[in-house]
Structure 1
Amino acid sequence: MTTSSRSSFRPDVEGLRALAVLVVVAEHLVGWPSGGFVGVDVFFVVSGFVITSVLLAELDATGTVSLTAFYARRARRILPAAGVVLVAVVVAAWALWLAPRAWATVLDALASAAFVENWHLVALGTDYLASDGAVSPLQHFWSLAVEEQFYLVWPLLVIAVAVVVRLLRRPGATPALLGAVFGVVLLVSVAWCAWRTGVAPAAAYFDSVGRTWELAAGGLAALAAPGARRLPRAARRVLTLAGQLTIVGSALAVGWALAGPAAAFPWPWALLPVIGTVLVVTAGSGTLGPVESVLVSRPARWVGRRSYSLYLWHFPVIVFAASLGLDGPGWVVAQLALTVLLTTASYRLVEQRVQRSGWLRGAADPTGGSSSVRDTAAVPSSAVGPAPVRAGSPTTAPRRRGARGPVAQVALAVVVGTVVVGASAAQLRGPAWLIDPAAVRAVASPGTSGTPGGPAAPGASGRVVGDPASWSTSSLRAALDGAVAGAGDVPTAVLEGAFSSASAPQIGPEGCRYDVGTDPASFEPCVTGPASAERVAVVVGDSIALSWMPAVVEALGPDWRVLGLGVGSCSTIEARFHGGDGGTAFADACSESRSHLVDFVERTAPDLVVTSSSAAGVDRLLSGATGAEAAAEWRRGTTSGVERLSRAGGGARVVLLGAPPRGASPAACATRATRAALCTTEVEPRSEAAARAEAAGVADARAAGVDAVRVDVEPWFTSTGGLVPVTAGPLLVRSDAQHLTEQMSRSLGGLVRLHLREGALAR
């Protein structure tokens, strides 16, 4: 098996890398092309292709693959530039942002340094296609994590095949056996990707198992490339041109195709950029004339060589600028200029200097001498991959023993595998402080409080507006008006409290919020009040309902026993909506969980049932209804849900508290420079539509004889001008985009009490 062609310089691959990074940067910077994120899929294929080519070249030269050399090359190529970016981002985060987001950035940096940022994002429930809340400036490190996890396994497969071939004494079988192994890996990964995209699309985007098929496709392309070069030149030109058009077309079309509420990626849409890239790297060579003229042009190759640094720096620049409200054409140009400046400095002062230094150079040489079978500064090894391979003809050289012997290689594989797998598992199943900024802040600074507080927030005149202990509708409205007018003067002490621990404890890790599909045997309700209380109330629904529990407890007083139980994103409104993927899995699981909540109400036999619901489901109805039809479906679901809860409670009064209008997450919108000035928003149309539908649905239930009422809470969260601030007097309203802080919820107990007096309190 000769591999000299595999290790030759490929200027077209260098240009392909430029195309990929430019569409990613453009999509992040200006939102066009809307499918620019497929550039990452291009990088995956390119990296699989080049890394496999390098491994095959080494296999030809030495008869095996040195893990020591392989990991040393990865370290030389990836760690220096990535480390500089991680340090710079953490420093900038503490300089510009408040504690909640700064601590979150620290956690992202730790996960990125361990190459498990993808699993960190999965653990956080991050949705790349529908980001909500604070976007991490290190979110793009997920793709590096996927590649490094792939690199953990890929050389081991090549080594295993080499061992089998040696045992069988059939060296000619190497390409076929490698192709079979790579093909199996690809098919298994495709199957997992298709399933994962269907049941958990947000997680599927970052799933390294579900992304492996893209890198494996590059590996198969490396095996096929020598044969493809024997095709007629005209055929190769057609294939290369078709590949380029497919990549560009996917960048333009995939974003449009995923614009609906059922957006899901990577399967099957990632097929387009993957197939296009496979065609280019397999049939191309950089010498096919006009069809490759753009890829081999000097500008494209200039960008391609710097693509790794460009990828690393562009996203932090964009995220930091957005957090400061630096928007508009002028600021876009400034962000681009800063990105280019940082990229150039990083490439020259970090990437090239390390490649020219002696750091790990001896370990990176698998032959023990001046081997040409090593990926130098031009070898792709990141999510955006640097430039292509510049290896000469591989030569066989005596292998060193000792540190690079079989025992050492196995030990190295075990150590690296244990670290990466252990770090991945820790993100998904480990301690809370690995993913929760509130938990890590508590560990780092014992004794700090997770609840918002501190000095009171001034109104427009600089004085405190309103007393949360005795809100009236008018005093609360005055406080909200003051919060809008004085948003830029809100004390940082108030905004520093925007940790998850500021939310109602009922929705926290030790609370009573469960995921859909959870076995009801594990349900443990939150309970307040004496067991001997004569009257009992239950709070049921989704996490929005549970965030109202402090208010309900305050409203009912010490003579009531209050029990709470909730299922995340699954309300008691009997409408079927999906979880973002357009499929029925979430709706089916939610329907079952909803029945368990109703059973809980029936077992409790309460005097009062309180519920609430997020408005998000209105946009995700399985029926596909929108506008007036969606509102009508939500109305019917409200009526059915209220009637079912009333029957389960033996005719108990049902109070449907409206959902607080969604607003900006304080952790995302507040900075040290702007305070809360960028945090005021308008009420979302879907919130208004859901509120009207719920009011009509409860009215229908009342007409049918059900003792039910819906409480319109929008005036409690909006200013006179209809704006939604993030503070009210001295209190932080929300801990994120939609959940009330415990203090804000409790402060509304007096207003909630007014709506509970009739009926339930009179019994």
Structure 2
Amino acid sequence: MPAYPEEVFAAAVDPVASGVGGEAALFAEYAWTGRTIEYHRRRIQERYGTRPAAEDGEDKLAEWPAEEVCPVQADRGELAAVSARAASRPSSAPSAITTGSGHGADPFPTRGRDDRPMTPDPSAATARPPARSSRLPALDGLRGVAVIGVLLFHTGNLDGGFLGVDLFFALSGYLITGLLLKEVKTAGRVSLVSFWGRRLRRLLPALVVVLVCVTLAVRAVGPPQLVRTTLADGPWVQLNLLNWHLLAESAGYWNRFGSERVFEHLWSIAVEEQFYLVWPLLVALVALGGKRVGDRVALLAAVVSLASLVWMAVLVDPADPTRVYTGTDTRAFSLLLGALVATARVHDLLERTVERAPRAVSGAAAAAAAAVGALWLLADGTTSLWLYRGGLFAHALACALLIGLCTQAPRGPVPRILSWAPLRWTGTISYSLYLWHWPVIVLLSPEATGLSGWWWTALVCAVSTCLAVLSTHLVENPVRFRASWASGGRGALAFAAVMAALALVWVAVPAPAPPAVDVTALD
């Protein structure tokens, strides 16, 4: 990409903050990308939707985490910094955004375009930038759907709701891979330390709070066996190896969800964390080749996905499919199919399809959503053996396709439905809600509450949601957005201190005495 002055780059991102507006902004984006002005007139209207201002009147855009951004759009932190620098030099913007000759000349002349010099909008210097974001509401809606499905599954109301975990996997693979590829494109490499630091700030605080609070609650009111399994499972959760720990204990997934464990749902968090450890390393190695990184990442994701599918079909035990359902190696395709859709090759294909056949894209999104919904209604983890011989792969592929289509055509019918405010709100607290819901189910069981059916489900959902809201706003968001100590060297020290303190919990909390065995009864 040719080098352009910062003012051109800033105008392409935020025309108001950079001191230009109207046709000048369109031209700036045209000069930056080489696309036609007409193309950007359509794309700006379609893809850069407005976001309501925050209730307190402040623009919260800078607080939004990078992993929540649509990865095929620009990185907010980087672009906001450039826009701010450009805005501090308003006198330079007009000279950069001009046609003709000189530093701001149009490098992509187009027949029939008005070649008059473009001047900044006089009102731009005082006008407040419109609240605008590249965050896609439909993706929040998908998170909401996923966590609702899991809640309904664990409360016995939707047999196929466990597939919500696969939707989470596909979303994670898509968003993370998009961020990694964008970093390769802009910086030429992947900063693994920075990536893992962001992941820790995103996931660790709420997880630590849940682990400590639930362990203390179980020790205070739980039966002895529940206390023992909690203290035994906790260190493996901390190490992000819980799925392998449970497999080593021969704990069957489909029959172990009961009153004996409060952390067993965190097997999926362990799978994701293992993905976050290995996949960035592979992308970084691919990036060392320099050219066609996106294509090679796409090929890698496709090949490993197929290998994971074959491995699942080989290993599946019809009597108990736990090994293939919770093993990282056999579930990798759920994450990697999302990663595949995030690559430039697939992204460009979807983008061209949206431009040429928008109705067909809307139909494809509806078909993908219908396929996902049908599988959730029909699937059963214990009797649907077809799930492990291609069904889970097909479901993950439908989820990845739905994510890609919602990203490329966010104004379509399906993305609009997924953008329904309650779904979006549920999606914003989905991580904490997932962490809290299973301990609440165990501790507020039907036996403990005297409730059953939908009354019990309503109680579990209400308590879990309250805890998730508190966790999101008091723990997650402050550490992610406002804790300056959570990054750099101080962040590393804080991480080490938290891990050490958490390790002490498993030692300091006293375990109940093992049950006595009456040897005389054995005679």
Same fold by TM (over 0.5)? yes
**Selected match of 2:147 from 21, 25, 46:** 21
Structure 1 or 2: more helix by fraction: 2
Q: Does 1:184 align with 2:303?
A: yes
> How far off is 1:112 after superposition?
0.8
Matched residue of 2:158: which SS? Answer: coil
**Selected match of 1:298 from 411, 421, 446:** 421
Larger radius of gyration: 1
Q: Does 1:45 align with 2:167?
A: no
Counterpart contact for 1:229–1:236, Cα < 8 Å: no
Q: Does 1:268 align with 2:390?
A: yes
Deviations 1:25-56 (A, max 9, x none): 11112x12111000001111110000001111
Give the letter for the 1:176 counterpart.
D
Counterpart contact for 1:105–1:137, Cα < 8 Å: yes
Counterpart contact for 1:24–1:39, Cα < 8 Å: yes
> How far off is 1:265 after superposition?
5.4
**Selected match of 1:114 from 218, 236, 239:** 239
Q: Does 1:71 align with 2:196?
A: yes
Deviations 1:39-98 (A, max 9, x none): 001111110000001111111111000011111001100000000000111011111123
Give the letter for the 1:10 counterpart.
L
Which residue of the partner structure matches residue 62 of structure 1? 187
TM-score (norm 2): 0.66
Higher normalized contact order (CA 8 Å, seq sep 6+, divided by chain length): 2
Q: Does 1:32 align with 2:32?
A: no
Matched residue of 1:293: which SS? Answer: helix
> How far off is 1:130 after superposition?
2.5
Question: 1:137–1:450: structure 2 CA closer, same or farther, 3 Å change rule?
Answer: closer
Which aligned pairs between 1:433-582 and structure 2 lie closer than 5 A? 450-452=514-516, 502=517
CA distance in 2, matches of 1:133, 1:318: 9
CA distance in 1, matches of 2:203, 2:423: 22
CA distance in 1, matches of 2:240, 2:327: 13
**Selected match of 2:347 from 221, 225, 231:** 225
Counterpart contact for 1:225–1:283, Cα < 8 Å: no
CA distance in 2, matches of 1:226, 1:343: 37
Counterpart contact for 1:23–1:33, Cα < 8 Å: yes
Which residue of the partner structure matches residue 4 of structure 2? none
- Which stretch has the larger CA shift, 288-297 or 197-206? 197-206
CA distance in 1, matches of 2:490, 2:304: 27
Question: 1:363–1:32: structure 2 CA closer, same or farther, 3 Å change rule?
Answer: farther
**Selected match of 1:86 from 199, 202, 211:** 211
Counterpart contact for 2:222–2:443, Cα < 8 Å: no
CA distance in 2, matches of 1:359, 1:40: 32
> How far off is 1:269 after superposition?
2.7
CA distance in 2, matches of 1:101, 1:319: 10
Consecutive unaligned residues of structure 2, counting only runs of 5 or more, are 2-32, 34-70, 76-133, 500-505
Identity percentage over the alignment? 34
Which residue of the partner structure matches residue 435 of structure 2? 312
Counterpart contact for 2:309–2:393, Cα < 8 Å: no
**Selected match of 1:216 from 336, 341, 348:** 336
Counterpart contact for 1:82–1:312, Cα < 8 Å: yes
Question: 1:290–1:125: structure 2 CA closer, same or farther, 3 Å change rule?
Answer: same
CA distance in 1, matches of 2:490, 2:513: 49
Counterpart contact for 1:254–1:269, Cα < 8 Å: no
TM-score (norm 1): 0.46
Which residue of the partner structure matches residue 66 of structure 2? none
Matched residue of 1:9: which SS? Answer: coil
**Selected match of 1:196 from 307, 315, 324:** 315
> How far off is 1:226 after superposition?
3.1
Counterpart contact for 2:257–2:264, Cα < 8 Å: no
CA distance in 2, matches of 1:81, 1:319: 19
Q: Does 1:747 align with 2:521?
A: yes
Counterpart contact for 1:70–1:364, Cα < 8 Å: no
Matched residue of 2:316: which SS? Answer: helix
Counterpart contact for 1:245–1:276, Cα < 8 Å: no
Counterpart contact for 1:76–1:359, Cα < 8 Å: no
Which residue of the partner structure matches residue 5 of structure 2? none
> How far off is 1:131 after superposition?
2.8
Q: Does 1:159 align with 2:279?
A: no
Let me know the Cα RMSD of the aligned residues.
Answer: 2.9
Question: 1:203–1:49: structure 2 CA closer, same or farther, 3 Å change rule?
Answer: same
Counterpart contact for 1:186–1:216, Cα < 8 Å: yes
Give the letter for the 1:282 counterpart.
G
Which residue of the partner structure matches residue 471 of structure 2? 346
Consecutive unaligned residues of structure 1, counting only runs of 5 or more, are 166-170, 366-402, 404-414, 420-439, 453-501, 503-741, 750-763
Counterpart contact for 2:446–2:456, Cα < 8 Å: no
Counterpart contact for 1:142–1:206, Cα < 8 Å: yes
Aligned length: 375
CA distance in 2, matches of 1:100, 1:323: 18
Which residue of the partner structure matches residue 124 of structure 2? none
